[in-house]
């Protein structure tokens, strides 16, 4: 049975659902990154050379998909700016409450395994054509709306997959273009949006009208779910290909385990917005707690710098390019190495045999500084603090090497902002 269509009667509802879409893409990206960080990296971890080659390829695929989820989040933020909303980079901490989104979305921090892969496939499943729909049926046609008093407020709309959500947004954009007029609907400044010039993300284009808005939405749908049908190049298709290879390896070697024994939903402290404490596992090892806190601090500054790039209004083009370069550097040189390192560290005595992992934890006060000069000063201050924190930690071996590189990277970004 098909779920009811997502209907949008006014701008407030459109902004609400675009905000929810940005949140979903952000949360899904973190789930994919966590799974990728959990995957084994050498034969010393109990897999053969042939299995390692497969695991490395799967890991590259999942990391690429997570980058594309970031693209989808950025496109949702561009759409928000275009229709008068604000870019939205916040999200609930993981695992999300069942009340945060429709029940079909189960977002949690889980290591790579069959169960996790099945959840990814379910999240990215394509939208099936409605039974009996003719060839001329289109989700891109505006649905006649019947205004009701209760619909003046932005409120939750039920949908069972991302395709249904985005098709509902697309229908809403078409309807509101007729209701308000296209020029009045797309009243946000295009220059306040992120374009592909800042990141090497094909398809990241400003939204200025209905045509460019529909192109952005179709790009998300086709790349993620593959549209209303199967596509081997979509996220759904690529996860299915991994699943097929995974099952083949298990038939040949039932003892095959592609991931480290990473704890589910690991945190150094309980997040204040996770409803069920039983779903969160607290890290107990002192060093692992320190690295977890460092990771969360670096993740927060990454999101703040990205947020400033979205909220730009006072920065020059050179300054915007600098923010984009620092954002990319934080992802590659800081978040990646720390996320991998955490999955090698012990979780603590109550979790025998398990390792820690990155929580991507948001604190209550994580917001984008609204003013250019204050933002730069805060970024410099925080980057220096995080760099110094790396130096305070007493470590050895490979972890020491990771922290040395992370410390240097954080210090370098602070110096770049000071110039």
Q: Which of 329, 337, 327 has its CA nearest to residue 401?
A: 337
Q: Is the C-alpha dihedral spanning 306, 309, 314, 315 positive or negative?
A: positive
Residue 6 burial (CB count, 10 A):
21
Cα–Cα distance, 4 to 229 (Å, whole number): 19
- Mean pLDDT computed over every residue of the chain: 89
Strands of 243-399, DSSP E: 266-267, 281-282
Asked whether the predicted pLDDT for residue 385 surpasses 80, the reply is yes
pLDDT of residue 156: 56
Neighbouring CB atoms inside 10 A of 415's CB total 12
Nearest-CA neighbor of 263 among 353, 169, 135, 131?
353
Compute the distance between CA of residue 149 and CA of residue 292 in angstroms, rounded to an integer: 48
Phi-psi region of 132 (alpha: psi -120 to 50; beta: other; left: phi over 0): left
What is the pLDDT averaged over residues 244-272?
A: 97
pLDDT at residue 153 tops 80: no
Q: According to CATH, where is 1.20.1260.10 located in the chain?
A: 1-260
Q: What average pLDDT score do residues 105-115 get?
A: 95
When mean pLDDT is compared across 43-47, 313-317, 324-328, 334-338, the lowest value belongs to: 313-317
270 Cβ partners below 8 Å, 6+ apart?
277, 280, 282
Tell me the C-alpha distance between 346 and 287, whole Å.
9
CA 224/CA 222 separation, integer angstroms: 6
Per-residue pLDDT tens over the stretch 182-240: 999 999 988 889 887 788 888 899 999 999 999 999 999 888 775 566 678 899 999 99
Burial track 388-411 (b if 16+ CB lie within 10 A, e otherwise): ebbeeeebeeebeebbeebbebbb
| CATH code that applies to domain 1-260 | 1.20.1260.10
Per-residue pLDDT at 312: 77
In the numeric block, the tokens 């020059």 are attached to 316
Q: Quick one: which of 395, 385, 300 has its CA closest to 342? A: 395
The model's pLDDT over 273-286, given as tens digits with 9 standing for 90+, comes to 876 666 899 999 99
Per-residue pLDDT at 162: 86
Q: Give, as one character, the DSSP assignment of residue 4.
A: P
Q: Is 346 helix (H, G, I), strand (E, B) or coil?
A: strand
Instruction: For the domain covering 274-419, report its CATH number.
Output: 1.20.1260
Q: What is the pLDDT of residues 40-98, one digit of tens each?
A: 999 999 999 999 999 999 999 999 999 999 999 999 999 999 999 999 999 999 998 87
């Amino acid at each position: 049975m098909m779920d009811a269509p997502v209907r949008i009667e006014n701008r407030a509802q459109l902004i609400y659902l675009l905000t929810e879409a940005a949140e979903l893409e952000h949360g899904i990206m973190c789930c994919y990154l966590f799974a990728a960080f959990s995957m084994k990296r050498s034969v010393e971890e109990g897999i053969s050379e042939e299995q390692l080659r497969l695991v490395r390829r799967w890991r590259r695929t999942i990391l690429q998909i997570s980058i594309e989820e970031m693209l989808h989040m950025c496109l949702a933020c561009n759409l928000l700016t275009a229709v008068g909303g604000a870019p939205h980079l916040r999200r609930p901490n993981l695992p999300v409450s069942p009340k945060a989104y429709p029940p079909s979305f189960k977002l949690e921090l889980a290591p790579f395994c069959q169960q996790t892969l099945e959840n990814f496939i379910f999240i990215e499943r394509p939208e099936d054509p409605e039974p009996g729909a003719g060839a001329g049926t289109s989700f891109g046609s505006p649905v006649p709306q019947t205004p009701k008093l209760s619909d003046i407020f932005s409120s939750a709309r039920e949908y069972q997959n991302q395709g249904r959500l985005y098709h509902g947004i697309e229908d809403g954009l078409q309807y509101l273009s007729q209701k308000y007029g296209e020029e009045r609907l797309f009243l946000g400044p295009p220059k306040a949006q992120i374009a592909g010039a800042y990141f090497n993300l094909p398809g990241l284009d400003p939204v200025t009208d209905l045509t460019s808005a529909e192109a952005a939405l179709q790009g998300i749908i086709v790349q993620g779910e593959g549209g209303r049908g199967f596509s081997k190049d979509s996220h759904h298709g690529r996860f299915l290909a991994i699943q097929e290879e995974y099952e083949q390896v298990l038939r040949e070697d039932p003892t095959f385990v592609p991931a480290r024994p990473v704890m589910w939903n690991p945190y150094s402290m309980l997040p204040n917005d996770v409803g069920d404490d039983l779903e969160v596992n607290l890290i107990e090892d002192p060093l692992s707690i320190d690295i977890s806190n460092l990771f969360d601090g670096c993740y927060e500054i990454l999101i703040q710098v990205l947020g400033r790039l979205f909220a730009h209004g006072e920065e020059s083009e050179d300054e915007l390019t600098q923010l984009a370069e620092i954002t990319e550097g934080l992802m590659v040189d800081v978040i990646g190495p720390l996320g991998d390192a955490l999955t090698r560290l012990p979780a603590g005595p109550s979790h025998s045999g398990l390792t820690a992992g990155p929580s991507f934890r948001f604190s209550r006060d994580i917001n984008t500084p609204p003013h250019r000069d204050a933002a730069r000063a805060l970024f410099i201050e925080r980057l220096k603090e995080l760099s110094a924190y790396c130096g305070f930690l007493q470590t050895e071996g490979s972890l020491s090497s990771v922290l040395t590189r992370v410390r240097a990277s954080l210090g370098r970004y602070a110096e770049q902002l000071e110039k």
